[in-house]
Chain A
Amino acid sequence: MYNILVCDDDKEIVKAIEIYLSKEGYNILKAYDGYEALEILKNNDDIQLIILDIMMPKLDGIETANIIRQDKSIPIIMLSAKSEDYDKIAGLNNGADDYVTKPFNPLELIARVNSQIRRYTSLGSMVKKEENNEDIYKSGDLIINDATKTVEVDGKDVKLTPTEYNILKFLTKNKGIVYSIEQIYENVWEEESYGAENIIAVHIRHIREKIEINPREPKYLKVIWGIGYKIEKL
C-alpha cells in the first residue's frame, strides 16, 4: 500500500482524486495548502508520491516543491490550471517530476501516478538488470529488449505489432536523431522509398498511443512536424 499526498485548496478536487486513486489501491493523505502539506510530510516518512496544485493560498505549489526538494526525493506531480509552456517549465524546474493540467483526464492522472510510483519504488531493482546487454535499447524508462522482442515503458510491458516494433527499435537505437518518413522507411524496410508511405505516420501514431500516457504530449516518441520523428534521449 503506497501513500500519496494530495494537496489542493479545492477540497472537491482533492476528494475526486482520492476516489480515483483509492480505487487503484493507494492510500491518500490530504492537505489544502502548502504548509499543511509540509506538516504532513514532516510527520510521515512513508509517502511515495505528492500531487501538488500550484495556485494555493499561503504557500503556493512552486515554493512548496522547492522546500520539499531540499531534503526529499519523493516524486511530485504538479496539477495546475496553468497550461502555458512557461508554467510547465517553471514547475518542472522547481522539483516537479511531472505536470498535469486541469481539467485533467482521470485516466491520464492515474497512469502518471502509476508511472511515477513504479519508477520510485523499482529504482533499486532496475539496477539489477543487465545494463550492458547488446540487445537492450533504452531511453529513460523506455526499454526495448531485442532478444525477447519486448518493450517496457515505466516497468510495464507494451504490446506492439512487428512493424511498430521495428520502427520503435530503429528510432530508439538512434535516439536523439530526427528521421524523416522516407528515412525511416528505407532503414526499417531496407528498400527504396517510393514517396507515399504515410503509412509510417499511422504506425508512429499507433506506437505513441501505446507507449505514451498522453499521445498528444509524448514523452518518448516526439513528432517534429514537417521534419520527422525521434525518440527523445532521456
Chain B
Amino acid sequence: MAIEVRIPTILRNYTGGAKAVDVEGATLEELISNLESRHPGIKDRLVDDGSLRRFVNVYLNDEDVRFLGGLGTKLSDGDTVTVLPAVAGG
C-alpha cells in the first residue's frame, strides 16, 4: 500500500530534502508511524498528545483529514497525503 506523502519545505530537513516520499499505511496513524521510522523526528512535528497538531493541516487527496477521521482516516493504495503547516498568527 504505497501512499505518496508530500512534505512542506519546513519539514524537508527530515526527508533529506525530498518533496515527496512513498510510505505504507492502512491509516494515517500507521502512515505517520512508518514515516517516523524512516525519518526520525518528523512525527513530533505532526502529532501532539495522540492527535494532529492544531496548526498542521493534513489532506488526504483533496480533503482536510479533520473532516474525515483525523489520525484514524483510512488510506488506500495510490492515495496522496499532503502536509501543509497552517499559515496563521496574531
A in complex with B: no
